[in-house]
Amino acid sequence: VIKQNNRNNYKVFESSISKDFKSMLRMETELRKAMKEQQFELHYQPQKDIGSERVVGLEALLRWNHPEKGYISPATFIPIAEKTSLILQIGNWVLHEACKQNKLWQDQGYSPVVVGVNLSAKQFHQADLVEQVSSVLQQTGLHACYLELEITESMAMSNEEDIIHTLKGLRELGVHVSIDDFGTGYSSLKYLSRFPVNKLKIDKAFIHENRRQNKAIIKSIIHMSHSLNMKVIAEGVETEEQLHFLQEEECDEMQGFYYSKPLPPTHVTPIFQFVKC
């Protein structure tokens, strides 16, 4: 009886694996097509300075506008693209598009903001990343100080010397670097103090769950950022109560549905408070 059960379980397991594998292959083919047929879009989520209440940044978030399925979340397709070299093509498109759009807004007279671009691990670990970023800035005409690259703790923790070399190269260019989803990985304080990083982004999980431990963690991330001369932004702020807590703890910036969801480019311009001319 036991043997039979095992065999049955095995079959179920096997068929679900091959199903996943097939849907992964299908998704990969569709991603290639999406790239060719320009089905990707960037939406932008505003980031507000908590003190002045001005919009100081916009995070570019990738959207796949599938002809039949509608918008597909990056959480679904980025991990698949990451398993192939497709992520490099997609990531390069994102970087170029975000810089181009930000420069366009500046040329239209809107007050300048920083555009945030998420990097995947493969992208970040390319030996010529600094040259690539520099060339995108040159092609689009965006000044380096209006670009912020977001990496995660796990990306920053591997191969210390190479990472520091890349981060220093980016800093020399004048590009900002932030650590996304901070607090969910394993960064040690020793590493953090050695890395030339401009900002920590507190992961939304700490903001969402209203627990005493989370508040203590948020407070210590804010204090640590400031003592390491970094700025700190809270992600996923959804309520006034959360904002008030961050205000009291002197968090620098906030991003979240409480102020705005990620917006298509045409909906972004009304949120720029200061128009130059």
Could you list the residues that contact ligand C2E (CB under 6 A)? 45, 61-62, 73-75, 78, 91, 94, 118-120, 180-181, 204, 235-238, 256-257, 262
**Of the candidates 97, 148, 153, 181, which one interacts with Mg ion according to CB under 5 A?**
181
Minimum Å distance from CB 252 to ligand C2E? Answer: 17
**Whose Cβ is closer to ligand C2E: residue 38's or residue 229's?**
38
41 binds, among ligand C2E, Mg ion, none (CB under 5 to 8 A by kind): none
**Whose Cβ is closer to ligand C2E: residue 148's or residue 235's?**
235
Sign of CA dihedral 47, 74, 201, 124: negative
Whether 98 contacts 118, CB under 8 Å: no
78 binds, among Mg ion, ligand C2E, none (CB under 5 to 8 A by kind): ligand C2E
Minimum Å distance from CB 233 to Mg ion? Answer: 10
Minimum Å distance from CB 149 to ligand C2E? Answer: 10
Rg (alpha carbons) of the chain, rounded to whole number: 21
**Of the candidates 153, 180, 252, 253, which one interacts with Mg ion according to CB under 5 A?**
180
Q: What is the dihedral of CA 130, 136, 138, 140, to 10 degrees?
A: -150
**Of the candidates 118, 120, 166, 260, which one interacts with Mg ion according to CB under 5 A?**
118
Q: Please report, for residues 25, 56, 177, 222, the alpha-carbon distance to residue 44 in angstroms, rounded to integers and kept in the order given.
A: 29, 12, 18, 25
**Whose Cβ is closer to Mg ion: residue 141's or residue 232's?**
232
Q: Per-residue DSSP letters for 124-181?
A: HT-TTHHHHHHHHHHHHT--GGGEEEEEEHHHHHSSHHHHHHHHHHHHHHT-EEEEEE
**Whose Cβ is closer to ligand C2E: residue 238's or residue 249's?**
238
**Whose Cβ is closer to ligand C2E: residue 134's or residue 242's?**
242
Tell how strand 114-118 and strand 147-152 pair up.
parallel
State the Cα–Cα distance between residues 61 and 47, nearest whole angstrom: 13
With residues binned 3-state (H G I as helix, E B as strand, rest as coil), the percentages for the chain, rounded to 5, are 55, 20, 25
**Whose Cβ is closer to Mg ion: residue 78's or residue 164's?**
78
Binding site for Mg ion (CB under 5 A): 118, 150, 180-181, 235
